[in-house]
Amino acid sequence: MSGSPRSEALFAESLRHTPGGVNSPVRAFRGVGGQPFFVQSARGARITDVDGRELIDYVLTWGPAILGHAHPRVIEAVKAAADRGTSFGIPNPLEVDLAVRVKSLVPSVEKIRFCNSGTEACMSAIRLARGFTRRDTIVKFDGCYHGHGDSLLVKAGSGALTLGNPDSAGVPADFAKHTLVLPFNDPDALRAAFAAHGNTIATVILEVVPANAGLYLPRPGFLELLRELTRAHGSLLIADEVMTGFRVAPGGAQSVFGLVPDLSTFGKIIGGGLPVGAFGGRADVMDLLAPLGPVYQAGTLSGNPLAMAAGLATLDELVAGNAYARLEALGARLQAGMEDAARSAGIPVRFQRIGSMFCAYFVEREVWNLADALHADRARFARFFHGMLDRGVYLAPSQFEAGFLSTAHTEADIDATVRAAAETFRTLA
């Protein structure tokens, strides 16, 4: 972004101390070129950078800020909790309150364990599934991202895909060989994998709505087949709802698509912007976890009162109001405006959305899997990203990430975004 002297100076300094100058790779703008700006503060649907520029934010710290940034109810809850101490390492009442609240919203969760990130949640759920089934093989889908646990950094999405290294260095071949990667929405590949390996497959983990290679949806029948095959072969089904949980519906994507997984993973929204993760599901599986059973999993800050308080305030605010109807209306308005703007400029854009999560692929075709997504014009997306940034709109800095809306976005924000998009599309023709 032109004219950002303080961000430029901070980035130069950060590069001296932190690899790539960032604490998470996707923030480095490698997918779009240029360098990241630094945020001074954020409120509602807006972020303000260290050079005083205000931007309409569609990244929302990658999903957690579904109420917008610094929502008064969340801030108040965190302040009140902090006044009582920040972490105890001993059970506190808020852990029970949030467990009860998540269970009330997601019926497939009979028991839950909190941790500190989505990665930890997915890593732990995989270990638990392997312990429960006494099998080693896991199945994931290409382009899906389930955090940076060793077993899962195989043809992964998000930052790994953005940087073009979906298979990370440092993961022993002996780990990766237990991970089968299938194309998403491919029933034949699914059937063949179970026919060949069914009795060794511990679990299949999926993003019910893959949103780490942009955003695409399960084709009708795919999830039903997956549930049928996993059940028939004694494999557990893990729904990774770190991004979709409490985002696409109070009960997550599983409630939208009628999927009943054995385990689910959560993160982001249930921490209200503080570090949190969780995994939960069938009690007979969860009870294999230490201290009850032989599968070890632990964390110093797991269930810490600040994250629990922020998560409770977020879920209470979401469920109390008509948040999901508002998020759907805002999403539909954005989609209609963006599609009209692209069409008027003659730019092929495939806008895919579920509720308040979306992706504008620079491609003509429908996108149903990673192979389709890889046809998107990344160079054109990068020019679009910077054009929008220069016009005051911050989109995810990668064609392979989803965008998010919050209840703090207004119709005026959407209309301003669409106007910026119309101007930007015209520069791409």
Contacts to ligand KE4 by CB under 6 A? 24, 26, 62, 117-119, 122, 145-147, 158-159, 207, 212, 240, 242-243, 267, 401
Strands 201-206 and 393-394: unpaired
- Listed in sequence order, the residues at least 6 apart from 108 whose beta carbon sits closer than 8 Å to its beta carbon are 239, 254, 260, 261, 262, 264, 281, 282
Q: Of 147 and 166, which CB lies nearer to ligand KE4 in the complex structure?
A: 147
Cross-strand partners of 137 = 201
Query: Strands 179-182 and 137-141: what pairing?
Result: parallel
Q: Give the residue carrying structure tokens 């924000």.
A: 413
Taking the complex as a whole, the smallest distance from the CB of residue 316 to ligand KE4 amounts, in Å, to: 22
Rounded Cα gap, residues 102 and 292, in angstroms: 22
Q: Which is nearer to ligand KE4, 167 or 228 (CB)?
A: 167
Count Cβ atoms below 10 Å from residue 79 Cβ, excluding itself. 11
Please tell me the distance from the alpha carbon of residue 153 to that of residue 166, in angstroms, as a whole number. 7
Min separation Cβ 211 and ligand KE4, Å: 6
DSSP SS3 for 421: helix
Nearer Cβ to ligand KE4 (181/342) = 181
Nearer to ligand KE4, 185 or 424 (CB): 185
Bridge partners (DSSP) listed for residue 203: 138, 236
> Considering beta carbons, is residue 120 or 372 the nearer one to ligand KE4?
120
For the CB of residue 15, give the shortest distance to ligand KE4 in the complex, in Å: 18
**Which contiguous run of DSSP H or E holds residue 203?**
strand 201-206
Residue whose entry in the numeric block shows the structure tokens 């939208």:
256
Please say if 296 is a catalytic residue. Answer: no
Could you tell me what percentage of the chain is helix, strand and coil, using 3-state DSSP and rounding each to the nearest 5?
A: 45, 15, 40
The sign of the CA dihedral 118, 124, 128, 130 is positive
Catalytic residue among 145, 216, 361, 394: 145
Sheet containing strand 357-361, edge to edge, reads 350-354, 357-361, 403-404
Q: How far is CA 398 from CA 40, 136, 328, 369, in A?
A: 22, 33, 23, 17
Complex with ligand KE4: residue 198 or 299, whichever CB lies closer: 299
User: Residue 273 CB, nearest distance to ligand KE4 (Å)?
Assistant: 12
To which residue do tokens 């990068």 refer? 382
Q: Which is nearer to ligand KE4, 239 or 347 (CB)?
A: 239
Q: How many other β-carbons are positioned within 10 Å of the β-carbon of residue 337? A: 18
> 177 an active-site residue?
no
Per annotation, catalytic residue among 240, 262, 377, 413: 240
- Min CB(181)–ligand KE4 separation in Å: 16
User: Nearer to ligand KE4 by C-beta: 239 or 342?
Assistant: 239
Give the nearer residue to ligand KE4 in terms of CB position, either 26 or 420: 26
Phi then psi dihedrals of residue 113, to 5 deg:
-130, 130
**For 277-304, b where at least 16 C-beta lie within 10 A, e where not — what string?**
bbbbbbeebbebbeeeeebebebebbbb
Catalytic residue among 57, 216, 268, 324: 268
Structure tokens at 271: 């921490």
Let me know if 268 is a catalytic residue.
yes
- Phi, psi at residue 277, to the nearest 5°? -150, 165
Catalytic residues: 145, 240, 268
